[in-house]
A and B are shown apart, each in its own frame.
Chain A
Amino acid sequence: MTEAPNSSTASTSQLFSLRSRRRFLGATSSLLAASTLSSLTAAESDEPLKVAVIGTGARGCDLLRSLTTIPSIRVAAVCDDYPPHLARASEYAGPQATTYSDYKKLLDEVKPDAVVIAVPLWAHFQVAHDCVDAGTSVFVEKTMCYDMAEAKKLAALVDEKKCVFQVGLQRRASPIYKQAVAMVQAGLLGEITSIKAQWHRNNNWRRPIPVPKSDPQWAALEERLNWRLFKRRSRGLMAELGSHQLDVANWILGTAPTSVMASGGIDYWQDGREVHDNVFCVYDYIVPRRETAPEGNGATAADGVPLPRLPGNIAGARPLQTYNVRVTYSSICTNAYEGASELVMGTRGTLFLTTTKGLFYREKHPEDPGWLRAGDKENSAILTAGKTLKLSNSPWAHRGEPLEIDLLEADETRDELISFLDHVRRGNPQTICDVHEGLRDTATVLMACQSLESGSPVSFPT
């Protein structure tokens, strides 16, 4: 099937014969200085962590490839029940990794310290549940589970076993998103009143099938390789894409939504798929109102920085402890403008976020100094000039150019794995996205799916 990266054409070539390799000077050392976030600390006496990858399709192989760049772990086994995917995984993992098509056999024989699970959504629960039960630490791709019953059962088991468990919502490891959340919490945006998130692409979301349509195997392969398009295997765009961004909304607002209204259809890619090719959602949130920026990061109650407030209730009634926020989400397959992005709107500023860029725009405050400068004495004459003073036409003249969040040089997929493995090594179950965050995200996704089906608003599942 797919030829290996180290293919035989290379080994017959005399241009690239592998003779006289330069050797690393001196003895090799397994100690890696933890000088940056992107390193794993490991003492020389630590055994490498034994890791297995279950589900080695496109995402699984990306995760596997990242794992092979992380020192002090070893990929002991890979598993997939589709031979071409397993063969590709074997190339990435190397000959010392055992290959399996049955994950239960892998668990039994390999007894890994940790597993990374990237099987299709419908199989997440079964595989993750068995791995947690077997006592391994578990990293499972988003969305955590196909339905709420499974998600709750998994959360209960993880808590019972005190399993080190992480869901692959990788923006939790992204420096841009972490900085954005810090900016929100420091009050730079004022009070957040709305978030607009989208994942817009212009393609049919299909993978090719290796046999022609006339082949008797085509239908089974279509359901296997294009599982995302089938209802009993997939929850469509919301679970595959929306899960990431609704988790960002939940993270920024510090809470889950109370209800959602959704609308969608199969309106463009009418190719036999069962999931919508465009979805639109309006989520309602009730967000606690904070007086000051939270403690932590060196700040204490004494430092209490008052947060800018929403326009007050003029009638003088008691201020509310919570306020309403609406989050809109859309995902379409017919236009790619602004791709995957979130627009976080606050009374004092706006953040535009993607995984490669973060821009902060300040909102114009009504009392921003124009020509009357702060500090002018109250009784001094206001200066006038005979000639009308001109203002620049630039939209940024009164607002300032957007502030760009520095793109720290990081790969959030690799960083989320490093964080997970670090927690595994320390036995710390408080991962950057634990099972309860995963449960909350699953509920946020599934309530929209339910609303899409019923055409009615749906409340957050209890």
Chain B
Amino acid sequence: MARITRNVAAMGTLFEMLLLGDDTQHLSDVADAAIEELQRVERLLSRYDVRSEVSRINREAASQSVQVDRELWHLIELGASAWETTGGAFDLTASREVSDELIPNSFAHVHLDEDSRRITFSRPDVKLDLGAIGKGYALDRAKLILVEYGVKQAFLHGGSSSVVAIGGGPQGTGWAIELAVAWQDSPAGLAPLSLRDVSLSCSDSHSSTEAESDIIDPATGKPIADPRACFCTGPSGLECEAFSTAAIVMGRSRAEELLREIAPETLATVGWIDKSTGPASFSWLRGGSTR
């Protein structure tokens, strides 16, 4: 069996992919095309690139309405919908990376006109940061290319927190993943998961290296206090990433409440970890087979 790996630095992290198949040349060409697509999405969304569409919006939308292309508009609208559904916990503008001073509930200052696809900010210190869904979306797009070109077995990840599994892995029993959470007392990874034709996203409120969380609670404008992590699987990396990001802001009970409204085919499994679930273990909030 032919095996191709690729990696690229994008969106401030490392993306890696592993493809399996019969034809090395073909796999190689498809992998290159998938890398190009990751880079295309990065050019659209990156807040680090002054020439990206998101940078253009951030520069101009406070002084004039900015017309957006359909792809980016779709992502912003999903962000707006998620903001409403999660009661403000998911907020594309609540990011320390783009604003030093955060206004509570800043997304309320984003105005969208869907007829003309124009976005305006009613305050100059509002900025969009699509980091919360960028990796998931980029991986969804890369997956489309792989599938379109007939790749049956592949594993992709971005920054080790967003994952796409195509096919059932080399042994056919699923691509094996071990989850790890930075602030867990036990250094061991959590129970392994088996992924088959699904996306996975993990969001962790704290990293071991920083005392303070870099995730902001949009309601207060302050970092989240208690460490927690959420992971979920589903067909869309974009939606998994949005949910897991929102869930750790909302906290367990609000996340469970929201889950009751979400169709099961959107999020197949959801797992939750915080200091109360005990070391090296997690709670299934939805789905999940026994370890």
Contact = CB atoms under 8 A, between A and B. Distances in A.
Interface of A: 1-3, 5-7, 9-10, 12-25, 28, 32-33, 35-36, 38-39, 65-66, 68-71, 84, 91-94, 203-204, 206-213, 271, 356, 407, 409-411
Interface in B69-90: 69-71, 74, 77-78, 80-82, 84-86
B51 A21 contact: no
A151 B145 CA distance: 37
A311 to B, nearest CB: 41
A70 B67 contact: yes
Given A35-B64, A68-B69, A91-B70, A2 B148 contact: yes
Given A21-B112, A35-B64, A209-B29, 10 more contacts: A14-B263, A15-B81, A16-B242, A21-B77, A25-B122, A69-B69, A91-B71, A208-B32, A213-B23, A356-B51
A203 B80 CA distance: 40
Nearest to B151: A208
B269 to A, nearest CB: 15
B81 A92 contact: no
Interface residues of B, number: 61
B51 A410 contact: yes
Contacts of B111: 22-25
Interface string B223-237: 000000000000110
B3 interface: no
Interface string B102-126: 0000000011111111101010000
A1 B148 CA distance: 6
Given A65-B69, A65-B71, A210-B148, A12 B114 contact: no
A407 B56 CA distance: 14
B33 interface: yes
Given A24-B120, A92-B69, A18 B81 contact: yes
Contacts of A271: 25
A203 B51 contact: no
Contacts of B33: 207-208
B285 interface: no
A24 B113 contact: yes
B265 A12 contact: yes
B63 interface: yes
Contacts of B150: 210-212
Contact of A409 (B30, B56, B115, B149): B56
B118 A5 contact: no
Contact of B64 (A33, A66, A208): A33
Nearest to A211: B150
A451 B285 CA distance: 69
Contact of A2 (B50, B60, B77, B144): B144
Given A16-B81, A24-B120, A212-B26, A94 B70 contact: yes
B175 interface: no
